[in-house]
Amino acid sequence: MEAISNISEAEFAVMNLIWAKPGLTSHAISDLLAPDHNWSASTIKTMLARLVKKGFLVTQQLGKQYQYTALVDEDHISIEYTQTLFQRLCDRHQGKALQELLKTVPISQTDIAAMQDILQARAKCAPEAVSCHCIPDSNC
């Protein structure tokens, strides 16, 4: 399997659909994605073929149709994608980015309770300020 950084935004849309509805055929995927994305059936089939080649999907032939199933776990990919994104940010700004996300992303009561537990545990050993790692021996 290739790294998550090799998946385009369009391919992510396909993966999200397949994670939500495993075993869809290419025809069903086209029917569900085409209206919102204005993609042709051949564009979607090309993306599906790329995702199979990259090792993210597997196909099973059912008559003249192919059924697609994810080979990778959605949670694993979500974590890897988020970590990759945050690695691009200056360490000093990651906390602020998380704060802004918490203001806007949908979160369940269960998620909030889990985050509170994590934050309480992290608070015990967190530094007063986070150092910059963008430029050696600097504070940005």
pLDDT at 139 over 70: no
pLDDT at 107 over 90: yes
Percent of residues, the chain, with pLDDT higher than 90: 67
Cβ atoms 59, 52 nearer than 8 A: yes
pLDDT tens digits, 66-103: 999 999 999 988 898 889 889 899 999 999 999 999 99
**Exposed/middle/buried for residue 56 (C-beta within 10 Å: 0-12, 13-18, 19+):** buried
pLDDT at 124 over 80: yes
Q: What is the DSSP letter of 130?
A: P
Q: CB count, 10 Å around CB of 68?
A: 24
Cβ atoms 54, 7 nearer than 8 A: yes
Q: Band of the pLDDT at 2, cuts 50, 70, 90? A: low
Average pLDDT, the chain: 90
pLDDT at 46 over 60: yes
Cβ atoms 75, 42 nearer than 8 A: no
Amino acid 138: pLDDT: 66
CA–CA distance, 28 with 30 (Å, rounded to integer): 5
